[in-house]
Amino acid sequence: MQYPEFLTEQLLADLNRGISEAALREKYGLSSELLRELLDQWRASKATRESEPASPTDLYNSEFEIRHRFTGETIFRGWADSLGSLVQLAAISGKDLSEASLSNADMVGLILDGALLSLADLTEANLSQANLNCARLVNAKLSSARLNGASLRGADLTGADLSDAALTGANLAWARLKNADLSEADLTGANLFSADLSGANLFECLLTEVNLVGANLEGALLLGCRMSGARRTWTKGIDEER
């Protein structure tokens, strides 16, 4: 025989208050056998619930969704503890997040290597210390984004807008930054070993103490660019006296 769960909860509350089984039988009009059966059923039900795997709603606080920056349609939806965590889950799953709307998103330290984020809006997003190795960010909008200490080895940032972005200490070795806009960006101490910066806009860009060994800057706009202390061995497209 099944009994309402609220009744067993009341019984347990009474037991915790020290009420005897005799008093419980009288209060609820139960025989000794029915009382024991009721408590046994409750214990079995509790053990079953505790053994079941947790659902996403048990593990995370909220359901988030990633929307298309132009159409507003949902690209990816799921339960996570933050929007950034959902982006990481999508990247790990190989989901194409091209043209996603992720402006101002907090993605500090996330693992996004190989992420497909071409044409995504990451304006003012915080990607400091994130792993974006080999990520595809062609024509992505990263203006005023924070990428301090991020790793973007081999990432494709062709045509990306990185104007006013913070990239201090970032690793951009072998990255493709052809025709990218890095105007007024801060790349102090960044690693640009063998990076392709051909045709890039480096107006007023801060390149102090950067590693430009083997980098290609042919056709890049260098007006107002500051690169004191930069290592420029085998760097293409830049005169040694600069």
pLDDT at 106: 97
Query: Which of 14-28, 84-98, 129-143 is the least confident region?
Result: 14-28
Instruction: Decide if 190 contacts 210 (C-beta within 8 A).
Output: yes
Percent of residues, the chain, with pLDDT higher than 90 = 68
CA distance 136 to 100: 13
pLDDT tens, residue by residue, 176-231? 999 999 999 999 999 999 999 999 999 999 999 999 999 999 999 999 999 999 99
Least reliable range by pLDDT among 44-58, 92-106, 153-167: 44-58
pLDDT at position 6 over 70: no
* Closest by CA position to 239, among listed 230, 28, 7: 230
Least confident of 25-34, 36-45, 59-68, 140-149: 36-45
First to last CA, the chain: 89
Each residue's pLDDT tens digit, 44-86: 666 665 565 655 555 556 889 999 999 999 999 998 889 999 9
Handedness of CA 181, 184, 187, 191 (dihedral sign): positive
pLDDT at 2: 46
Q: What is the pLDDT of residue 41?
A: 67
Other CB atoms within a 10 A radius of the CB of residue 27 amount to 12
Average pLDDT value over all residues in the chain: 87
pLDDT band at 11 (very low <50, low <70, confident <90, very high): low
Q: Residue 1 — pLDDT band, cuts 50, 70, 90?
A: very low
Q: Are 108 and 131 in contact (CB under 8 A)?
A: no
The pLDDT score that the predictor gives to residue 61 is 65
Lowest mean pLDDT among 18-22, 103-107, 203-207, 218-222: 18-22
Q: DSSP characters for 85-97?
A: HHHHHHHHTT-B-
